[in-house]
Structure 1
Amino acid sequence: MHDLNGLLGRVALGDRKAFSAIYETAGPKLFGILLRILKNRQEAEDALQDVFVKVWRRADRFNRDAGSAEIWLAAVARNHAIDALRARRPEASSIDEVYDLAGSDPDPEKLAVLRSEGVRIHRCMQTLESDRRDAVRKAYVDGLSYQELAEQYNVPLNTMRTWLRRSLLKLRECLGQ
């Protein structure tokens, strides 16, 4: 097992061997993250290449005091996948295209199930403190990173991670009832 923190520091200095070691070590996990979010193997493979281009170019931005290299690499992959999902959304250029896009609504039964789930999720979200609830929404709906949330709420990075982890556990418990 390689020390990813040290390898990222060497990549920031242009060390190709360190970059290759990061690819071998972290590549499978990052691919798994991308595949889980994108749900398309070819798109995840393409995204993995893009992620590693970002790692090569942005390795100097890694701050080992803010967290581990594994978390930083996973955040780069996750954010890239979220950006790819956002780019997937079709943009209509005419009213006819908008009409065609609107035709893919779920049937009434699916809508009823979705509404029911939405009500349950909303009810469970209300059990969280307001700042935790907002942080969960911003992280998992808007796609903000832990670092962005920590800065926005003016709390340490590890505090934000704890907020989100405990909030998700509370939501899981509530939804399981």
Structure 2
Amino acid sequence: MSSAQQLDQWLTAAAAGDRRAFAQLYAATSGRLFALLLRVLVRRELAEEALQDSYVRIWLKAASFDPQRSGALTWMASIARHRALDLLRACHAEDALTDNIDDGIDDARLHPAWIDTRERPGERAEQDQALERLQRCMKHMDPAQRRALELAFFDGYTHEELARIMNVPLGTVKGRIRRGLARLRGIIGIR
């Protein structure tokens, strides 16, 4: 059984309430998700917060995971990325408020808990639909190119890491990604 299949099994078991499977899933994936979050958020404390929030959401949403649509790690990385973007929005909103504060304003009134950083209605649904369309388009691609794109863009691996994971030369990885992006543009209809 491949590691991707094992992750799918653990996530499916977690959806049924299996805490041990969830612990194994966490142990196998938390390092990669943390690296992804750290790249997006830069600040370690924010990445740690996002990681914890992501796994809570993964546990709560595990029943919506469909291994026919994506791999477990891709699905989990999407949840983590959304959480990181939510935190970035919250930080930017807080920074914008504190930049415009007069010294006479009571800072307690501007606590982040009072700032509405929720997404606009339907934004999450639009993002989910766009991801579904992308995943459908990617099913029409060469499997090696699709895997390279998923690992690079959804899981956050560098080209060098991909070369090791896929056991191919670095130039082959770069070519697969370049050709995969070109193929994806053609499927989607972007010039």
Pairwise TM-score range, normalised by the shorter structure: 0.5 to 0.7
- Determine if contact 1:34/1:48 at 8 Å carries over to the other structure: yes
Give the C-alpha shift of residue 58 in structure 1.
0.5
Aligned ranges for residues 20-169 of structure 1 at < 5 Å? 20-90=23-93, 97=100, 145=127, 147-151=128-132, 156-159=136-139, 166=181
- Determine if contact 1:150/1:157 at 8 Å carries over to the other structure: no
Structure 2 unaligned blocks of 5 or more: 104-123, 154-179, 186-191
TM-score, with normalisation over the residues of structure 1?
0.58
Q: Separation in 2 of the partners of 1:36 and 1:43?
A: 11
Identity %: 34
Q: Separation in 1 of the partners of 2:68 and 2:82?
A: 21
Q: Is 1:9 matched up with 2:3?
A: no
CA RMSD of the aligned region, Å?
3.8
Aligned partner letter, 1:156: R
TM-score, with normalisation over the residues of structure 2?
0.54
Number of residue pairs matched by the alignment: 125
Aligned partner letter, 1:82: L
Aligned partner letter, 2:8: N
Aligned partner letter, 2:15: A
- Determine if contact 2:14/2:62 at 8 Å carries over to the other structure: yes
Q: Separation in 1 of the partners of 2:28 and 2:102?
A: 47
Counterpart for residue 120 of structure 1? none
Q: Separation in 1 of the partners of 2:44 and 2:68?
A: 34
Aligned partner letter, 2:21: A
Structure 1 unaligned blocks of 5 or more: 101-141, 171-177
Counterpart for residue 128 of structure 1? none
Q: Separation in 1 of the partners of 2:135 and 2:65?
A: 19
Write out per-residue CA displacement over residues 76-131 of structure 1, whole angstroms, 9 at most, x where no aligned residue.
1111101111111135669x81799xxxxxxxxxxxxxxxxxxxxxxxxxxxxxxx
- Determine if contact 1:5/1:69 at 8 Å carries over to the other structure: yes
Change (3 A) 1:36 1:167: farther
Secondary structure of the residue that 2:46 maps to in structure 1?
A: helix
